[in-house]
Amino acid sequence: MTAKVPVSYESYLKIPELTNIQVPLAEPSAHDEMQFIVVHQAYELWFKLLTHEIQAMITFLNKGNLPQSIWTMKRCIEITRVLNQQIHVMETMSPTSFLEFRNLLNPASGLQSYQFRCLEFMSGLKHERYLGLYEADSLAHKALTQALSEPTIWDAFMTYLKSLGFEVGGDSDQLASLKIIYTEPKWNSLHFFCESLMDYDESFRVWRHRHFLMAERMIGFKPGTGHQELPKIKHPQAGDLPSGESGQAFRDAGVHYLKSRTEPRYFPLLWELRTHLG
């Protein structure tokens, strides 16, 4: 009988496999390309953890476990703060250093990150047209299709509020219920959870804005690297696409597209609520 090999730090975390998947394309090598790869792979790992935590939080809400939902959201907020800090690392790269390997990335684009798109779907920004970026039988398409069909954080929260007797039938009912939560002390736990959702939403808005600024700092308003197009949409949402970009190649949008994405909010009613308080 073969003796079981003890688990080590290296074997548990698959360190050899992990550190061998950074493969620069530039020849001879561009020094900053390794940094670019590592930071983006780290982002994908954080996106994986965020989707894992949000799925768990939705389950907790469905079970009526508000304390665990609050605890899980706290973790998600801290992860988004890490995402923002990673921008600082990217900004240590000069525009000329990026140009040493940028053209090799075509037609790859951050727009193709299906994990980030799943995260956006789960958080409340669902847009079916993004499915058009992926082959119908691909892992990405299946994951996004599932995320598109499942309840968002807000959906789960409204279901929980309904179980407590709050009216959540439409925006006006939800705003009225939120006003009760924010003004009656007995609902302090719900109030705290709402503010946690605001922290999460705000942190992502900051990240999107910083991402836009970092990209502008690197490439100005050059076209983006991706070559894919999204299906045309009949009724684009405000702040969702750059002006005149509905159905056009996102490679032509570049930084303009990133700028347009600084406005959408995961929980718009929580932002609107501020106007109705007092």
Whether 62 shows a pLDDT value over 80: the answer reads: yes
Q: Which two tokens stand for residue 211?
A: 């991402």
Give buried/exposed letters for 176-190 (b at 16+ CB in 10 A, else e): ebbeebbeeeebeeb
How does the average pLDDT of the chain come out, rounded? 87
Specify the CATH number of the domain 33-87+110-154+169-276.
Answer: 1.20.58.480
User: What does the domain layout of the chain look like in residue ranges?
Assistant: 33-87+110-154+169-276
pLDDT in tens, 222-237: 666 654 455 544 433 4
Whether 238 shows a pLDDT value over 80: the answer reads: no
More confident residue, 271 or 226: 271
pLDDT for the residue numbered 242 = 38
Q: From its phi and psi, is residue 171 left (phi > 0), alpha (psi between -120 and 50) or beta?
A: alpha
Secondary element (H or E) of residue 208? helix 188-219
Alpha-carbon separation of residue 57 from 10, 62, 83, 189, 199 (angstroms): 31, 9, 20, 15, 16
Q: From its phi and psi, is residue 4 left (phi > 0), alpha (psi between -120 and 50) or beta?
A: beta
Whether 145 shows a pLDDT value over 50: the answer reads: yes
Is 23 in contact with 39 (CB distance < 8 Å)?
no
Whether 60 shows a pLDDT value over 80: the answer reads: yes
Strand partners, 249: 229
pLDDT in tens, 19-45: 999 999 998 889 999 999 999 999 999
| Least trusted range by pLDDT, from 23-37, 110-124, 226-240, 263-277 | 226-240
What is the percentage of the chain residues whose pLDDT exceeds 90?
A: 67
Is 191 in contact with 157 (CB distance < 8 Å)?
no
